[in-house]
Amino acid sequence: MYADQQDAFDGESAAIATTIAEYAAIAVANTLRMVDRTALARQMAEAMTSRSTIEQAKGILMATHRCSPDAAFDLLVGISQQTHRRLRDVAASLVDQTANS
The CATH class given to the 11-99 domain equals mainly alpha
76, 90 Cβ separation under 8 angstroms: yes
For residue 89, what are the CA distances in angstroms to 20, 79, 85? Answer: 49, 11, 7
56, 91 Cβ separation under 8 angstroms: yes
pTM: 0.58
4: pLDDT confidence band, cut at 50, 70 and 90? confident
Mean model confidence pLDDT for the chain: 92
Average pLDDT, integer, range 67-76:
95
Reply yes or no on whether the pLDDT at 1 is more than 80: no
Sorted by where each begins, the domain ranges of the chain are 11-99
Average pLDDT, integer, range 13-26:
93
